[in-house]
Structure 1
Amino acid sequence: MLLAVAGLLAYLTRAESSAPAKPSPAPKSTPRTASHAAIPGKHAAVAAPPKTSDPIAFAKAATKVLWTYDTRSFSQAEHVAGLKRWMTSEKKYADWTSVSDQVPTPVLWSRMHDNDQHATAKVGEGHFPQAFKTALAQDPGAITEASVYAVTVTGKQSIAWKGSGSGAESRSTTLAVQCRPDKACGLVGVLPSVAP
């Protein structure tokens, strides 16, 4: 029963990697010198995070941005920079690698750009996984140190590309979200498997 919470705690408190994460270079085939977010009338590569203390509402919004991208208008580096704004400011808990692993590599992004590939997401429902709820009911104080919640979100991602190509698939993910009582939620990471 406590396995899910123990797994989440182990995930959150694991030893940090000694190798620093390498910044991703921008694709070479599509150089861009100005940030589109700074140009009047242009939308940002990634929507800004909502100011909420509700872990489910935040997780649903975070899932939407994780499943949404536009290689036609933004570089991979711009997309990654936008996602970084969603992360918790508490470095002890932030797992940037699990989030950045959701983004295509610069080389793949460049190829997707050549095909005008872009994706939108429709988020359905979000909930605390049953094992997480059960563990919290048994030990309500266990969450007070980190204030990190596991939230499973379901929805659909639609992808389109040059030549009227398109496709859609149902998706699910479980995110770790930090919601302190005195500040807005932040993304901790994407769990390696979906918790029902």
Structure 2
Amino acid sequence: MPNRFSSPLSGYGATWSTRRRVLIIGVVLAALLAVAGIAAWFTGHDGHHHDASAAPSVSDSTAPSADPTPTATPSGTGSVPKPPRISDPLAYAKAAAVMLWSYDTRDTSRDQELAGMKAWMTTEAKYADWSSVTGQVSDPVLWSRLGDNAQHATAKVTDAHYPSAFKQALADDPSAITDAYIYYVTVTGTQQIAWKKGGSGAQDQAVTLAVQCRPSHDCSLVAIAPSVAP
């Protein structure tokens, strides 16, 4: 059976465009991560949103859309939850990870999925990397196939923490975070997938998210980040 996920520990960072990668790294991290070993932050990739190796026929299941922008105005956002109004980066990252790892093709169209995800993003265009998020949503044909199989997924977070390199950078220069108030959080958890006729499977998940939490403002999602030290 087809499924819309990438293989375990495949990279969200791989979907970043050159322009966005330069923008995020150059603007957000230049001051914050100007410490020895910064190059290690951007090697490899974390695993991802839509992964389910326990399900049948997983190996060739991912087909990122060439144009992740919704093609029509959706009616609502289906099963995609609204972003929580919280100012804690760890708590927001946990909620965002659950949102990214969960979906329901039984009552949510692809356009609704994208619209729901968009609501979680920062409105500061200079930092937002929308393509790093939408690159993991299946193309319209594959989404339809998943819908034919009534495929849906739920998720549970087991841990969320700041990567060691990020914590060290903050310790070396605490004021650097004030440029954009973007925090890096690595989240781990478990995703449970199910489809019609009682089919089911489970997959461990891990992702590093860039989350913006400005003082006196609710947090928002900036990007699915490249791999960083745990």
**TM band (smaller chain):** 0.7 to 0.9
For residues 100-151 of structure 1, give each alpha carbon's deviation from its aligned partner in whole angstroms, at most 9, with x where no partner exists: 0122221111110010000000111100001100111011011110100000
Question: 1:40: which partner in 2?
Answer: none
2:191–2:204 contact (8 Å) kept in structure 1: yes
Residue 11 of structure 2 aligns with which residue? none
Gaps of 5+ in 2: 1-34, 43-66
TM-score (norm 2): 0.69
2:123 alignment partner in structure 1: 89
Amino acid of the structure 1 residue aligned with 2:192: S
Distance 1:184 1:128, change over 3 A: same
Gaps of 5+ in 1: 9-20, 27-32, 38-43
* C-alpha deviation, 1:191, in angstroms: 1.2
**Equivalences for 1:1-196 in 2 at 5 Å?**
1-4=35-38, 23-25=69-71, 35=75, 44-193=78-227, 195-196=229-230
Whether the 8 Å contact between 1:4 and 1:132 is mirrored in structure 2 is no
CA contact (8 A) 1:88 1:186 kept: yes
Cα RMSD after superposing both structures: 2.2
Amino acid of the residue matched to residue 23 of structure 1? T
Larger RCO, structure (CA 8 Å, separation 6 or more): 2
> Would you say the 8 A contact 1:150–1:174 is kept in 2?
yes
Deviation digits for residues 72-91 of structure 1 (CA, Å, limit 9, x no counterpart): 11101001000000000111
Output the CA distance in 2 between the equivalents of 1:118 and 1:178: 29
Tell me the percent identity. 57
Structure 2: distance between partners of 1:2 and 1:134: 10
